[in-house]
Amino acid sequence: MRTDIWSEFLLIVKQEAGSRVVDTWFKAVSLRKWDAATNTVYLQAPNEFVKDWIQSKYMLLMQTHLGRLLHVSMPRIMFTEILDGADAHATVVTVQPSEQSPISVVPAVSQAKSSHELIKRAHTFSGHVNHAYTFDTFVVGPNNSLAYAAAHAVTERPGMIYNPLFIYGGSGLGKTHLLHAIGNEIKATNKDATILYQTADRFVNEFISAIRFDKIHKFQQKYKAIDVLLIDDIQFISNKDQTQEAFFHIFNALYDAHKQIVFSSDTVPNNIKGLAERLRSRLAWGLVTDIYVPPLETKIAILKKKAESMNGSISDEVAYFIASQVDSNIRDLEGALIRVVAFSSLTNQAVTLELAQKVLASTHKPQSMSVDVDRVLKCVAKFYAYDKEQLTSKNRNKDLSFARQVAMFLMKKMTDKSLRDIGVVFGGRDHSTVMHAVSKIEDMMRGDDMLGQTLKKMEEDIRV
Ligand code: ADP
Ligand code: MG
């Protein structure tokens, strides 16, 4: 597989940060190598200045998008030796998906000392576990507290409590993060533990190439020697009968030896199609726990933490705004934050609410989706048989308050108004009141399917 990942990446940077950034900084950089075994991307910059600038400003951007293009999460980004001379661009990018390949770092210019250093550094990263994903950087909220607690328990007594641990949930909600966090935590307390993080996809490929090259025995030996096996997105093993068969034996061997196994998936074992029954039942042998969409407060906490890790901080107001723009997915939430921060640093402006609104206006909540606040107010009022004026009044009658909270919730969901704007609609209420209403309705919906359906119906009415 030879792909020009870098030019695809440049297109994304152009969209995210503008063509000026691409022309000034990224065009002069080339991708020298992608080492799947260490999850490391090696770049080459034309000079120290460009390298430092990119490193300090665009690390997260590179990790996020190169990771996406390479189908890995948060790769490490390293720069090879600076090349002086014209052939800085004359590089063919080779993508090596084979995770079995021994770490073979080939810096563009092999000056003995620095390449040794590179190799040494690459080796400190083992078992595909990404150091950036730790428990420390994971924000715990009601949506993930069970999965978090279970993951943590597993690190205290690997193989003994929940085995296997099965974490499921929608895309971008932190499953992969938790798997890596388990790996990192166990590694920190037990240096000698053999830990392997592997996506089911890569497991399948590895298995196929083991068959092709007659290395099945070696393949099995490798897996059976593992102390902690973290398999991400296990659903991708569906309909791969032979791989399932091989995995079944590996599972049994590890399980019998009290080795910890952790899975993530987009759904419960019972819903994974094309899975052999005996494997399916084993997936559910231990603890099955889910992660669901975070409530607003958790989204805000995540944003603030991410901003800090990007060496900046954002005000509550900006965090509320970004959180209210992204509905369901933490990956998208991060993407929105990155766009805002990238734009602010590019244009040398502070991260204000206005700036965030401007940056996100074009990308989130497409026009067709966004409706008018008055329309929401009217429909909710009609549904609960109140006047619009009653809804926006200060009257705290219990039923009326509930209807008001529903209206706030739907406004947040369906319009592009900020919490503050919505507060204004309701007679100048504070943004925190609106936030409280939104999370309350979210909470209630989780325990009450009827309410969910009612709100869905109301949404349809509002859109008509
Ligand atoms: P999934 O594997 O469920 O699709 P990921 O684990 O890849 O999702 O998470 C997507 C992004 O969101 C990652 O960058 C991850 O660090 C971040 N993320 C998810 N949940 C949290 C959380 N609770 N706290 C901090 N970051 C989170
Ligand atoms: Mg994942």
Residues 6+ apart with CB under 8 A from 450: none
Measured from the Cα of 233, ligand 1's closest atom is 2
Identify the pLDDT of residue 106: 30
Of 143, 197, 293, 330, the residue with max ligand 1 atoms within 8 A of its CB, to mutate for a pocket test, comes to 330
Output the ligand 1 site: residues, CB below 6 A: 73, 133, 137-139, 144, 169, 171-177, 302, 330-331, 334
Measured from the Cα of 140, ligand 1's closest atom is 23
Identify the pLDDT of residue 123: 32
Identify the pLDDT of residue 88: 35
Q: How many CB atoms lie within 10 A of CB 46?
A: 17
Q: Is 119 exposed, middle or buried (0-12, 13-18, 19+ CB in 10 A)?
A: middle
Closest protein CA for atom 14 of ligand 1: 331
Measured from the Cα of 264, ligand 1's closest atom is 2
Strand partners, 199: 232
Number of DSSP helices (H) and strands (E) in the chain, helices first: 21, 9
How far does the centroid of ligand 1 lie from the alpha carbon of residue 109, in Å? 36
Q: How many residues are recorded in the chain?
A: 464
Q: And the tokens for 27? A: 């065009």
Closest protein CA for atom 9 of ligand 1: 174
**What 8-state DSSP symbol labels residue 328?**
S
Q: And the tokens for 13? A: 């940077």
pLDDT tens sequence for the chain (464 residues): 334 788 888 888 887 777 777 877 788 788 888 888 888 899 988 777 778 888 888 888 898 888 888 878 888 999 887 654 433 333 333 333 333 332 222 333 333 333 333 333 333 346 889 988 999 999 999 999 999 999 999 999 999 989 999 999 999 999 999 999 999 999 999 999 999 999 999 999 999 999 989 999 999 999 999 999 999 999 999 999 999 999 999 999 999 999 999 999 999 999 999 999 999 999 999 999 999 999 999 999 999 999 988 878 899 999 999 998 887 789 989 989 988 988 888 788 899 999 999 888 866 544 445 688 999 999 999 999 999 999 999 999 999 999 999 999 999 888 877 788 899 999 999 888 888 899 899 889 888 888 988 999 899 889 88
pTM of the shown model: 0.60
How far does the centroid of ligand 2 lie from the alpha carbon of residue 169, in Å? 9
Identify the pLDDT of residue 97: 34
State the Cα–Cα distance between residues 37 and 381, nearest whole angstrom.
58
State the Cα–Cα distance between residues 228 and 158, nearest whole angstrom.
8
**Is there a contact between 419 and 320 (Cβ–Cβ < 8 Å)?**
yes
Measured from the Cα of 179, ligand 1's closest atom is 6
Phi, psi of 295, deg, nearest 5: -70, 170
Identify the pLDDT of residue 370: 66
Element (H or E) spanning 232, and its range? strand 228-232
Identify the pLDDT of residue 124: 36
Identify the pLDDT of residue 72: 81
Of 331, 333, 337, the residue with max ligand 1 atoms within 8 A of its CB, to mutate for a pocket test, comes to 331
Closest protein CA for atom 25 of ligand 1: 138
Measured from the Cα of 330, ligand 1's closest atom is 12
